[in-house]
Amino acid sequence: MTADANNLKVIKEISRRDILFSVVALNETEVFVGSSDSKVHRLNTEDDKAEASELSGHTSYVTGLERVGDRLVSAAYDGKLKWWDLEKKTEIRSVDAHAKWIRRTALSHNGKQLATVSDDMVCRVWDAVNGKCVHELKGHQTVTPNHFPSMLYCCAFSQDDRFLATADRIGHVVVWDLRSGKEVEAIETPEMYTWDPKARIHSIGGVRSLAFSPDGKQLVIGGMGHVGNIDHLGGKARFEIFDWEKGELLHQVTDDSYKGLTERLVFHPSGKWFIAAGGDHSGFVKCVDATTGETITDSKAPSHVHDIRLENEQGKLFTVGHGKIMIWQL
Amino acid sequence: MSKRRNWFCGSDEHRISRRGFLSTAAATAGSMSALNLLREPTLAAELKKQDKRVILLWLAGGASQLETWDPKPGRPTGGPFAAIPTSVPGIHISELMPKMAQRMEDTAIIRSLNTKDGSHGGGARMMHLGRRDEATVKFPDLGAVLARELGSVDSKVPDNVSFYTATEGRGNAVGQAGFLGARYLPMSLTTNSKPDDLARLESISELDHKQRHDLRELLSNRFIEYRHSDSLRSHNEAYSRVRGLMASDKLFDISEEPQSIRDRYGPSLFAEQCLIARRLAEAGTPFVKVSRAWWDSHGQNFETHLELVSELDHVMSTLLDDLKQRGLLKKTMVITLAEFGRTPKINGSLGRDHFASAWSCSLSGCGINGGMVYGATDEDGQTVKDGEIDAGDLFATIYEALGIDPHTEYYVGSRPIPLVHEEASAVTEVLA
């Protein structure tokens, strides 16, 4: 049973005491989650108690998890990338990948390259197997136009793994050609930079998620729209769909139902629809028609969603967030 | 270390004897005006000669103690930032403050404030007045007291200046002279960093302006000679300071500073206002409050603090360096303070909420025993476990460090009003 956007519903909810920032599936019943306790936990989602066993070695929030063959790679706010032997449950390699927080990882579709983005405003592309740095992509500004530290939040590979998109706090998105390591396109999404010059003199927001369509033509960019009160995540969840090669905005969607950040975007392999998830104090998951930008189905989540993982063949979606693991039927 | 020793026993006898003594003393003051200081004039003059100043960095909205002065790395409440060692062995602060970490010698951190009021308005009043409001008395705030205690009547510069140029929380930014009178109200800058109406109108020549001033003064002095009115005197005093204040116009103009100094502070509004604060302090202004809004991080606390603490770290360290290089730090106290701290518990928006039970502030420079931490919270930062103090104790400490007896009393009519509430006492460990 492959995923169908019309079937979206929660089938299991597991409560946790920690905050979960990343998830990857090991098989139909087991997942790894990256936690605010600086550890990677392995859980059996069919076990009623869902007890965790852990891999430890990071010193801050674990924000990225990727499976590379029979190994797991984790990334954290401590700037380190770690490779884990899953059978022995041991760390086999640790790389000082970035000078500041690693915000996100992305694994190429062929499983050979791993991208990391960090608040040092550098994107590095690694050989996912041997841990050697393949590209160092620099182009995002280190400070915002208002002289504050910027943040490089997210990255995504194109389906053919030729292009990599990266996006930052001020709504600047860059598409890189990984053959040359050069910037080939830049897109601006200024609505997602929530700088408030008068009431609060600071900002929240930024571009938090990216996804290429499977045919490589569309790039969906997610964040939060205009917000009046940035004490809270009070803006409407937002995403913009671009024909990125033309630099043409196809759809901009501000969600009337859900507030907060669009933290994750994942295309269905068909390319007809994608999943957007995130939230403010609470969370949301929605399936969106990629042609029209209209919602197909959506659902409130019990907590802010920080990461999702679509297992298409199982028709399952795993989401993790603030104190929760959710398993969805699609 | 447990709860600090309190020299006021709290008994009625103690309270009555203090008041009785003061009432008698007040009666002997005879012709003193309704509000007066019970102290020798020569002592007051001596204090003012010491030429002390305060720059208050008001972190409006409530900065997180966990992302500044009291990090809890590795705890569920600690958040993602690490703690870093400082130049003083044994003291660690948030990694967001690497510059201040290298300059801890002049700074005392207080980690044990329990001020109980977690509302913006109430907390801000508490931390401006050093005590709870009373229905029958309008207390002066810290700036007004220091303008009175440290300022000079004939000063050519403003003695109480307050920057609050953001709009959020401005209503909570107390600027209250209370029973001290309007003379000690702050010069409030709310829309930009320079007073709008300080410059002489171009249509009036300097000579005309001086002659008008002299005539007004002559008439006013004659008028007041046969009357007894505090408000008239206050009015007259204010006018007499106008020309001095006008001459201070340039203090607000940072283009008068070398570019290298401006570059050191940086381009942000907070940085520019702190540079002006240094200029004012250097010129003799006893109290400047630079309010930096808005720290109210119910959502995305860590992003907010990454922005704002990074700025605070840079600007505060630059300010301390600048004051030190000019020989001003020994007579200038720099305070970081807010209405409260933020909850150890991280909420669903990765935010922290209001928290007044166990939070931090810092005191640097004048009269302060730098390079030390006073008080402690538990391992998760939920409660004060050592050296709990309240707003009154903090204010007593500030006054004592400035050479002002915190138990000095003002008189409002026949009622003695101490500078701090009666149970308050200075934290002696923090004093140099």
Residue B116's CB is within 10 A of a number of other CB atoms, namely 14
Q: Are A233 and B299 in contact (CB under 8 A)?
A: yes
Tell me the shortest Cα–Cα distance from B390 to chain A, in angstroms: 27
- The answer to whether the CB of A64 falls within 8 A of the CB of A56 is no
Strand arrangement, sheet containing A273-279? A261-267, A273-279, A283-289, A295-301
| Nearest alpha-carbon partner for B67 in B364, B370, B381 | B381
C-alpha A278/C-alpha A264 separation (Å) is 6
Option in B82, B166, B311 nearest A200 (CB): B166
Interface of B with A in 270-289 (CB under 8 A): 270
Residue B240 φ/ψ, nearest 5 degrees: -65, -20
Kindly state whether B84 is in contact with chain A, defined as any CB-CB distance less than 8 angstroms.
no
B165: nearest CA partner in chain A: A198
With vertex at residue B247, the alpha carbon angle to CA B243 and CA B250, rounded to the nearest 5 degrees, is 155
Q: Where are the alpha helices (DSSP H) in B165-299?
A: 206-225, 230-247, 259-265, 269-283
Q: A281 — contact with chain B (CB < 8 Å)?
A: yes
Is B306 close to A282, i.e. CB distance below 8 A?
no
Tokens 């800058």 locate to: B189
Interface contact B299-A77, CB threshold 8 A: no
Cα separation of A192 and A189, whole Å?
Answer: 6
Q: Please tell me which of the candidates B266, B298, B351 has its beta carbon nearest to residue A147.
A: B266
Compute mean pLDDT per 10 residues along chain B, 432 residues long, and list them. Answer: 50 46 37 42 57 97 98 96 97 98 98 97 97 94 96 86 95 91 92 77 72 74 68 58 68 95 97 98 96 98 97 98 98 98 98 98 98 98 98 98 95 93 96 97
Q: Using CA of residue B15, residue B17, residue B19, residue B20, what is the dihedral sign?
A: positive
pLDDT of residue B255: 94
Which residues, given as ranges, of chain A have pLDDT below 70? none
Contact A189, B281 (CB under 8 A): no
Cis omega (within 30 of 0) for bond into A126: no
Per-residue pLDDT, B16: 43
Location of structure tokens 């605010």 = A36
Sheet holding A248-259, edge to edge: A209-212, A218-224, A236-243, A248-259
The amino acid sitting at A305 is V
* B167 contact A CB<8A: yes
> Could you report how far apart the first and last alpha carbons of chain B are, in Å?
19
Contacts of A59 in chain B (CB under 8 A): 73-74, 82
Give the span between the Cα atoms of A195 and A204, in whole angstroms.
7
Burial label, A129 (beta-carbon count in 10 A; 0-12, 13-18, 19+): middle
CB-hemisphere CA count at 13 Å for B56? Answer: 29
Question: What are the start-end ranges of the E strands in B50-177?
Answer: 53-60, 83-85, 92-94, 107-113, 160-163
Q: Which amino acid is at B75?
A: R
Does A304 reach chain B within 8 Å, measured CB to CB? yes
Q: What is the pTM of this model?
A: 0.90
pLDDT at B230: 56
Report the C-alpha dihedral over residues B42, B44, B49, B53, rounded to 10 degrees. Answer: 180
3-state helix, strand, coil in chain B (%, to 5): 40, 15, 45
CB contact under 8 A, B348 and A303: yes
> Three-state DSSP class for A142?
coil
Amino acid symbol at A161: D
Check: CB of residue B106 under 8 Å from CB of residue B331: no
Total residues belonging to chain A: 330
CA–CA separation, A58 vs B344, rounded Å?
22
Look at B76 and A201 and tell me if their CB atoms are within 8 Å: no
Alpha helix stretches (DSSP H) within chain A: none
How many other C-beta atoms are found inside a 10 Å radius of the C-beta of residue A148? 20
Q: What is the DSSP letter of B61?
A: T
The alpha-carbon gap from A146 to the nearest alpha carbon of chain B, in Å, equals 7
A232 touches chain B (CB under 8 A): yes
Query: Under an 8 A CB cutoff, do B307 and A148 touch?
Result: yes
Q: Decide if A230 touches B, using CB distance below 8 A.
A: yes
Q: Are A204 and B300 a contacting pair at CB < 8 A?
A: yes
B299/A233 touch (CB, cutoff 8 Å), yes or no = yes
pLDDT of residue B219: 76
Position B212 scores a pLDDT of 74
Q: Give Cα separations from B330 to B44, B107, B136, B155, B371 (angstroms).
A: 20, 12, 38, 21, 15
Chain A CB within 8 Å of residue B95 CB = no
The alpha carbon of residue B9 and the mean position of all alpha carbons in its chain are separated, in whole angstroms, by 28
Residues 6 or more apart whose CB falls under 8 angstroms from that of A276 comprise A209, A220, A222, A237, A239, A262, A264, A265, A284, A285, A286, A288
Tokens of A73: 């790679």
Query: Mutate which of B307, B312, B345 to disrupt the A interface (most A C-beta within 10 Å)?
Result: B307
